[in-house]
């Protein structure tokens, strides 16, 4: 059985040209086991937002590629969808796009006694992010970030 990282890499390679040629952005790929079932989830977006027809096109293309190359041994469910309003921030360009947006960040270890930070992302310079929380700014080194996503303010 291939590792989750290997499968993610293979799927990225399969999708790269199709995604670029059609003006999509590959946001994330997950290959996870939930209960007794495996799921291959592809999250994509595009300028102005992705719709069900776009997801269907990506799914059909990827299904054909998976049938031809057959890189996954076990049975799985393929899901292609939008990353949603609380899309994850994974790559440096995701953080750059999220500047001036509300974010939720967790860290691997506490920073000033906390591992969760929510506020306005003021800046990102590829090394650290600065979040405005209340009236104070918190600087978080990117190497300490466990997860980050856009957050909806209610």
CATH number of the domain located at residue range(s) 92-150 in this protein: 2.30.30.180
Q: Give residues with Cβ within 8 angstroms of 152, minimum separation 6.
A: 85, 86, 102
Beta strands in the chain (DSSP E): 24-34, 37-46, 77-81, 102-111, 114-124, 128-133, 136-141, 145-150
Q: Which residues pair with 102 in a beta bridge?
A: 120
**Cβ count within 10 A of residue 91:** 13
| pLDDT at position 1 over 70 | no
d(Cα 2, Cα 137) in Å, to the nearest integer?
A: 43
Look at residue 5 in the predicted model and tell me its pLDDT. 83
Domain spans, the chain: 4-81, 92-150
> What pLDDT digit, counting tens, does each position of 33-70 carry?
999 999 999 999 998 889 999 999 999 999 999 999 88
Work out the angle at residue 24's Cα, subtended by the Cα atoms of residues 23 and 25, and round it to the nearest 5 degrees: 130
Q: Tell me the whole-structure pTM to 2 decimals.
A: 0.77
d(Cα 110, Cα 8) in Å, to the nearest integer?
A: 30
Look at residue 117 in the predicted model and tell me its pLDDT. 96
Domain 92-150 in the same topology as domain 4-81: no
Using DSSP, how many helices (H) and how many strands (E) does the chain show? 3, 8
**Cβ count within 10 A of residue 50:** 21
> What pLDDT digit, counting tens, does each position of 69-116 carry?
888 889 999 999 998 888 899 889 899 999 999 999 999 999 999 999
CATH class of 4-81: alpha beta
Q: Nearest Cα to 98, choosing from 20, 45, 39?
A: 45
């Amino acid at each position: 059985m291939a590792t989750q990282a290997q499968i993610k890499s293979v799927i990225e390679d399969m999708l790269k040209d199709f995604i670029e040629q059609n003006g999509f952005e590959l946001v994330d790929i997950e290959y996870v086991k939930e209960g007794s079932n495996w799921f291959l989830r592809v999250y994509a977006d595009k300028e102005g937002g992705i719709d069900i027809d776009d997801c269907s096109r990506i799914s059909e293309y990827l299904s054909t590629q998976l049938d031809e190359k057959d890189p996954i041994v076990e049975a799985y469910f393929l899901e292609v969808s939008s990353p949603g309003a609380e899309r994850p921030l994974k790559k440096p360009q995701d953080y750059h796009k999220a500047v001036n947006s509300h974010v939720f960040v967790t860290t691997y270890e506490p920073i000033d006694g906390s591992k969760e930070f929510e506020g306005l992302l003021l800046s990102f310079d590829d090394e650290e992010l600065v979040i405005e929380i209340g009236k104070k700014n918190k600087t978080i080194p990117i190497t300490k970030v466990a997860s980050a996503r856009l957050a909806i303010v209610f």
